[in-house]
Amino acid sequence: MRTLLLLLLLAGPAWAVSSPSEMLPDRAQEQRAERIGEQLRCLVCQNQSIEDSEADLARDLRGIVRSRVVAGDSDRQVIAWMQARYGDFVRLDPPFRPLTWLLWSSPVLALAVGAGAVLAGRRRHAAPAPLSDAERARLADLL
Amino acid sequence: MSEAVQLRRRLLLLTPLGVAAAGGVAFLAMLRGMQSGNFDPRGVPSPLVGRRIPDFSLPAQPPDGVGFGSADLLAAGRPVLVNFFASWCVPCVLEAPVLMQLKEAGVPIWGVAYKDQPDAAAQFLRANGDPYARLARDEPGRVAIDFGVYGVPESYFVDRSGIVRWRWAGGLSADTVSQELQPLLRKYA
């Protein structure tokens, strides 16, 4: 019973990275590396970030992110390093550029199209044409 | 009812039909593209295409005793197909006969054993044929990352000036070779 309690006490929390041995000893650096890694797509299991993925390549990329953080690269530099090798696709948050402007501006565009449709609808219903003489005569007849 | 109103009503009815038809056509085009491999939502487009190969130097993979690096590719004086493979990779087995055919056609293929043990890779080449003019190994997989490799097999077509002209992720098939690689071989010969 005592050994079991001891084991439970020794058991660490579950980390984002698969093994605590990957973590940097410096807490601030490790947190920065995790923040960067969360923005990078694992190219193998594509809807996971490299921090979440168990894939071999993701582990290698985590190691590279950490070594670059230790070497003093800024967040932007580390991400640029990855982007130079794996393209925009490696970023879970794609950059705004000619190729992606449609992606980023689609909500605004959708809103504009909707607003246009509403305005056009309003204008059409705004002023009904006045009755012609013949219509007026027919109306008088009916009433 | 005036003619203008009638026309407007007809247009209103046709609009959703038109949108649905356009969507259908786009969907068909996407399916066709996926079939021919042109539109793969999971594909990772290579930013290396049109750029120079990264600087690297890799140790030998038996039976080749030298290894190679970026300087050797530049000194080759002709386009080279750089192929990353591994003995633990199943699509590499399927790709092997296609590479052998390319070798017979005189295309220089340089192989990099990716994250593999030298003995295992050598055994793989004995079993499936060795299409490689030169061989190197990248056990840590670090040079592969500089190339943007995210799985094996992966092939890079490098022209004589060291510019990557084409990248194929996954096994090469006879179709890929005839539709994509052959035109490049003619263009950069």
Name which CATH class applies to A1-95. mainly alpha
Tokens of B40: 């793969």
What CATH number does residue B111 fall under?
Answer: 3.40.30.10
Is B47 within 8 Å of A43 when comparing Cβ atoms?
no
What's the structural domain count of chain B?
A: 2
Q: Which residue of A has its CA nearest to B47?
A: A87
Chain-chain contact of B150 with A46 (C-beta, under 8 angstroms): no
Which pLDDT does position B9 carry in this prediction?
Answer: 84
Q: Mind listing the pLDDT tens digit for each residue in A89-121?
A: 899 988 888 777 888 889 999 999 999 999 988
B72 and B7 inside one domain: no
**Residue B131 placed within a domain:** yes
CB A88 within 8 A of CB A41: no
User: Looking at the structure, do residues B14 and B64 belong to the same domain, yes or no?
Assistant: no
| pLDDT value of position A1 | 59
In terms of domains, do B111 and B175 share one? yes
Residues B106 and B20 in one domain: no
Residue B83 lies in a domain: yes
Return mean pLDDT, chain A: 85
pLDDT at B33: 72
Which residues in A lie closer than 8 A to residue B143 (C-beta atoms)?
A: none
The per-residue b/e assignment along B65-82, b for 16 or more CB within 10 angstroms, e otherwise, is eebbbbebbeebeebbbb
Residue B72 and residue B1 share a domain: no
Which has the closest alpha carbon to B112: B93, B126, B131? B131
Rounded Cα gap, residues A4 and B172, in angstroms? 54
- Band (pLDDT 50/70/90 cuts) for residue A14 is very low
- Mind telling me how many Å the CA of B123 is from chain A's nearest CA? 23
Residue B37: give the domain boundaries.
1-42
pLDDT band at A131 (very low <50, low <70, confident <90, very high): confident
B157 and B73 fall within a common domain = yes
B36 located within any domain:
yes
For residue B50, is it within any domain? no
B144 and B173 fall within a common domain? yes
- Beta strand B109-114 pairing with B80-85: parallel
Nearest alpha-carbon partner for B70 in B117, B113, B112 = B112
Nearest to residue A31, comparing CAs of A54, A15, A46?
A15
pLDDT cut 90: percent of chain A above it = 53
Same domain, B164 and B77: yes
Within 8 A of B146 by CB-CB distance, chain A residues are 85
Domain boundaries, chain A: 1-95, 96-143
Q: Is the pLDDT of residue A16 over 60?
A: no
| Separation CA A82–CA A64 (nearest Å) | 9
Task: Give the pLDDT confidence of B77-135 residue by residue, as tens digits.
Answer: 999 999 999 999 999 999 999 999 999 999 999 999 999 999 999 999 999 999 999 99
Q: Is residue B52 part of a domain?
A: no
Q: Which of A46, A64, A85 sits opposite B148 (nearest CB)?
A: A85
